[in-house]
């Protein structure tokens, strides 16, 4: 009876509704916003674990559905983010080079901690170290490259990733909330149009988002020549959407802002639900020492991000938040910023994201 009611679709709709309801509650001016969906989903996963253990078929169906919802949400959210970043770049966004550098430095900081841990605790295999590093920096493409490398044990890497990913996500989300909302000179990319710009209606705008997600997923599954690694779905979609956003801007076409906002929130809600339920179902398998190592990696990378962005961006707190979120390759952290301000500098997020992804991919070869 319970499994008939709590189908994956019903559960997803329920968690999104409850999460958004509680996320809208303000306490002393503070509210979680749509990020609350993530915490509600984690709690639901913990509560549903006994049911999935007693009914293995339901458990397998639930996990598969949550993975699908998570991938779908990521595709939509990242496609919208990439479009906005491309539009911002076409209208003269600055600081991309610095953001790229900070992303590289954050990955290097995390890698340095892993090398120190290797010296202090030689019992941890290279596969687990790679999983810890990728999970702590919330880099799924990095995990893919580790699993495909000869000599690496994929199951060990996935275990290390699973133990540290949740801590990395939550730390990144709370870190960017420290970046206070201030008025900046940045305008919402979708509204930065020329006087004679042509507004894309809802249907063409949805089509553009779908095309970005489709071709980005295909691009992300291709192996980069000479590296043996993939960009991953997020990297592929982000790059594709940025290029298309630049193209639309050059043609003086601007997507409907309301459609972009709905796409962002819908994508985030699906991603948080799928990821949160899966994390809650597996939270019993977390190993304390591995979680601690992951937090050390995460907090070191975040500290480097705060220091560098403080030096380069100073009082522009939204810039700092976007760069830190990009350096952690964290879509949930960016989603948190989007709840605080509708027009953060998304191009800097994209630049930091690619800097972190590129440097991490290279560093993983030295484990």
pLDDT of 327-337, one tens digit each?
998 877 877 77
Question: Out of 88-97, 231-240, 269-278, which region has the weakest mean confidence (pLDDT)?
Answer: 88-97
What pLDDT score was predicted for residue 183? 42
3-class DSSP state for residue 5?
A: helix
pLDDT above 70 covers a percentage of the chain that reads 81
What domain count does the chain have? 1
Beta bridge partners of 198: 253
3-class DSSP state for residue 223?
A: strand
Label residue 81 exposed, middle or buried (CB < 10 Å: 0-12, 13-18, 19+).
buried
Q: Which domain holds residue 357?
A: 2-187+194-366
Largest CA distance in the chain: 64
What pLDDT score was predicted for residue 302? 96
Query: What CA–CA distance (Å, rounded) separates 345 from 179?
Result: 13
Query: What CA–CA distance (Å, rounded) separates 290 from 284?
Result: 13
Question: Out of 49-58, 95-104, 318-327, 333-342, which region has the weakest mean confidence (pLDDT)?
Answer: 333-342
What digits encode the pLDDT tens for the residues 66-81? 989 988 888 888 888 7
Token readout for 244 is: 């298309």
3-class DSSP state for residue 253?
A: strand
What digits encode the pLDDT tens for the residues 286-296? 678 999 999 99
Query: Average pLDDT for residues 81-86, to the nearest whole number?
Result: 77
What digits encode the pLDDT tens for the residues 345-357? 777 888 888 888 8
Beta bridge partners of 230: 223
What digits encode the pLDDT tens for the residues 96-146? 788 889 999 999 999 999 999 999 998 888 888 998 999 899 887 677 667
């Amino acid at each position: 009876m319970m499994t008939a009611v709590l189908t994956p679709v019903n559960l997803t709709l329920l968690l999104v509704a409850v999460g958004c309801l509680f996320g809208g509650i303000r306490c002393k001016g503070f509210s979680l916003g749509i990020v609350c969906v993530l915490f509600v989903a984690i709690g639901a996963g913990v509560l549903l674990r006994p049911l999935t253990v007693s009914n293995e078929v339901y458990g397998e169906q639930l996990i598969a559905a949550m993975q699908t919802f998570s991938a779908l949400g990521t595709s939509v959210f990242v496609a919208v983010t990439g479009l906005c970043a491309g539009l911002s770049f076409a209208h003269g966004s600055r600081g991309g080079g610095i953001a790229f550098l900070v992303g590289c430095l954050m990955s290097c900081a995390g890698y340095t901690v892993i090398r120190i841990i290797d010296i202090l605790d030689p019992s941890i295999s290279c596969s687990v170290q790679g999983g810890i590093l990728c999970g702590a920096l919330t880099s799924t493409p990095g995990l893919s490259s580790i699993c495909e490398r000869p000599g690496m044990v994929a199951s060990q890497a996935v275990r290390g990733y699973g133990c540290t990913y949740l801590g990395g996500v939550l730390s990144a989300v709370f870190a960017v909330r420290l970046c206070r909302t201030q008025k900046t000179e940045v305008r919402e990319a979708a509204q930065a149009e020329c006087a004679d710009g042509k507004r894309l209606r809802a249907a063409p705008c949805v089509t553009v988002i779908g095309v970005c997600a489709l071709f980005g997923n295909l691009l992300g599954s291709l192996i980069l020549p000479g590296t043996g690694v993939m960009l991953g779905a997020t990297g592929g979609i982000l790059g594709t959407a940025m290029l298309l956003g630049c193209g639309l801007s050059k043609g003086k076409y601007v997507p409907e802002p309301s459609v972009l906002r709905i796409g962002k929130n819908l994508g985030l809600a699906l991603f948080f639900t799928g990821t949160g339920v899966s994390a809650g179902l597996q939270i019993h398998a977390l190993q304390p020492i591995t979680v601690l190592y992951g937090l050390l990696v995460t907090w070191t990378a975040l500290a480097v991000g705060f220091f560098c962005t403080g030096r380069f961006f100073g009082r522009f707190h939204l810039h700092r938040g976007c760069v830190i979120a990009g350096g952690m390759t964290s879509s949930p952290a960016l989603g948190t910023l989007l709840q605080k301000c509708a027009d953060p500098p998304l191009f800097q997020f994209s630049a930091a994201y690619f800097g972190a992804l590129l440097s991490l991919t290279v560093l993983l070869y030295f484990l």
